């Protein structure tokens, strides 16, 4: 949980007391989990290895007077003989297969360079993504000249981490139909430790007509739902060229109005985005269930979209999180 001093909202005295009480209760739940796992350590704290022989010291550990001590605050992880400390709050560290959301900052020869909330920029090669025509073929000089028609500077895209090259460059790939350019939505930046690695990071919220992408790198996308083709399609369908997108400037006014995002959808985007902002400010781990529950709570309590970033809603969300965790603890 975040400290009250980190919240960028003005609270009255009653709200301060309520929020402080909720934060203290949430910290107790966190302490119980840590103590039951017996894995939480601070700097210079001794890590118990039960006098095992051949223990390998990993990241965040050091040997002092024959004992293994922690050099970071975090959770002790053990993999066979390897012992290391996983920090709870740290910068994003890419792993192969991570779903990330990034912003294009440069169009270079045969590649795009992206900002992904990492210590270095990532690279998406032209050969590592599907072409607009959908045909699998060798990239030509014409494709390289038309790169800006696919992605250009400041475009937001979704991709998958392919891995690190020998020179240390982080490479991405976007060979699936679910990856690509993201439009008509909001890009939110949150702390990467609030987004846990899961089997599913793409979520279609059907009741709201919204696509929610929780990027492992801490970039969250909330946008209008876009139909994508399933990966399990026939070869005949795969080889069919996609229809080129019409030029927006050449459209008539009626055609342009049809491409606009409906008001209800825009309101849903703002409401879900505000729910993410509130949960992030409170330091609550982001999951699709928690986000939807926060949105439904704002509707049930008749909070307008702009009121969701007000002090009262922060307190209500914190108190609701206490109820959720206490009920889940009783079930166990």
Check whether residue 120 and residue 184 sit in a common domain.
Answer: yes
Does residue 204 lie in a domain region?
no
Same domain, 71 and 104: no
CATH number of the domain within which 50 lies: 2.40.50.100
pLDDT, tens digit, for every residue of 107-133? 999 999 999 999 889 999 998 888 776
Residue 132 sits in the same domain as residue 166: yes
pLDDT single digits (tens) 277-312:
999 998 888 999 999 999 999 999 999 999 999 889
pLDDT tens for 155-214 read 999 999 999 988 888 999 988 888 989 999 999 999 888 998 888 999 999 999 999 999
85 and 146 both lie in a single domain: no
**56, 90, 124: which is the final residue of a domain?**
90
Same domain, 144 and 115: yes
**Residue 201 located in a structural domain:** no
Condensed to tens digits (0 to 9), the pLDDT of residues 28-57 reads: 776 665 544 446 788 888 888 777 778 888
Is residue 313 a part of any domain in this protein? yes
* pLDDT for residue 237: 38
Q: How many domains does the chain have?
A: 3
Query: Which pair of tokens denotes residue 194?
Result: 């609030």
Residue 137: how many CA atoms within 13 Å on its side-chain side?
13
- Considering the domain architecture, whether residues 232 and 139 belong to the same structural domain is answered as yes
Pick from 134, 159, 122, 99: nearest CA to 235: 134
| Under 8 Å between Cβ of 172 and 162 | yes
241 and 285: one domain? Answer: no
- Give the end of a domain, one of 74, 90, 106: 90
pTM value surpassing 0.75: yes
Say whether both 286 and 189 belong to one domain.
no
3-state secondary structure 285-325: CCCHHHHHHHHHHHHHCCCCCHHHHCHHHHHHHHHHHHHHH
CATH number of the domain enclosing 123 = 2.40.50.140
Whether residue 316 sits in one domain with residue 233: no
What would the pLDDT profile of 82-97 be if each residue is shown by its tens digit?
Answer: 888 878 777 788 989 9
Query: Considering only 43-52, 86-95, 225-234, 261-270, which range has the smallest mean pLDDT?
Result: 225-234
Residue of higher predicted confidence among 49 and 150: 150
pLDDT score, position 13: 87
Q: How confident is the model at residue 259 (pLDDT cuts 50, 70, 90)?
A: confident
Is residue 114 in a domain?
A: yes
Q: How confident is the model at residue 243 (pLDDT cuts 50, 70, 90)?
A: very low
Instruction: Write down the mean pLDDT value for the chain.
Output: 83
Q: Does 81 map to a domain? A: yes
Q: Which domain holds residue 79?
A: 40-90
Q: Is residue 209 part of a domain?
A: no
Same domain as 324, residue 289: yes
SS (H, E, C) 174-211: ECCCCCEEECCEEEEECCHHHCCCCCCCEEEECCCCEE
Residue 206 forms part of a structural domain: no
Of the three residues 51, 71, 90, the one that is the final residue of a domain is: 90
Residues 145 and 230 in one domain: yes
Is residue 173, in this structure, part of any structural domain at all?
yes
pLDDT at 239: 41
- Do both 27 and 55 map to the same domain? no
């Amino acid at each position: 949980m975040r400290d009250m001093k980190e919240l960028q909202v003005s609270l009255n005295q009653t709200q301060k007391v309520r929020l402080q009480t909720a934060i203290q209760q949430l910290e107790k739940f966190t302490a119980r989990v840590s103590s039951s796992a017996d894995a939480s350590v601070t700097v210079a704290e001794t890590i118990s290895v039960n006098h095992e022989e051949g223990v390998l010291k990993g990241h965040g550990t050091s040997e002092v007077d024959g004992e293994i001590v922690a050099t970071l605050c975090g959770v002790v992880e053990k993999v066979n003989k390897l012992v290391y400390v996983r920090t709870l709050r740290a910068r994003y560290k890419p792993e192969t297969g991570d779903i990330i959301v990034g912003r294009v900052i440069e169009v270079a020869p045969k590649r795009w360079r992206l900002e992904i909330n990492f210590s270095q920029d990532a690279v998406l090669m032209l050969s590592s993504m599907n072409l607009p025509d959908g045909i699998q073929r060798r990239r030509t000089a014409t494709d390289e000249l038309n790169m800006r028609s696919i992605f250009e500077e400041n475009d937001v895209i979704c991709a998958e981490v392919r891995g690190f090259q020998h020179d240390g460059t982080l490479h991405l790939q976007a060979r699936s139909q679910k990856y690509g350019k993201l439009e008509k939505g909001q890009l939110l930046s949150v702390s990467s430790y609030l987004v846990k690695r899961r089997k599913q990071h793409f979520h279609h919220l059907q009741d709201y007509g919204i696509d929610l992408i929780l990027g492992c790198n801490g970039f969250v996308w909330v946008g209008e739902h876009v139909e994508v083709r399933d990966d399990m399609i026939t070869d005949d369908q795969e080889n069919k060229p996609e229809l080129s997108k019409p030029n927006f400037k050449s459209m008539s006014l009626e055609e342009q109005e049809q491409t606009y995002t409906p008001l209800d959808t825009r309101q849903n985007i703002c409401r879900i985005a505000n729910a993410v902002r509130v949960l992030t400010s409170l330091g609550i781990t982001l999951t699709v269930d928690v986000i939807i529950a926060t949105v439904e709570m704002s509707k049930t309590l008749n909070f307008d979209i702009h009121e969701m970033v007000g002090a009262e809603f922060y307190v209500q969300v914190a108190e609701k999180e206490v109820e959720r965790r206490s009920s889940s603890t009783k079930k166990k």
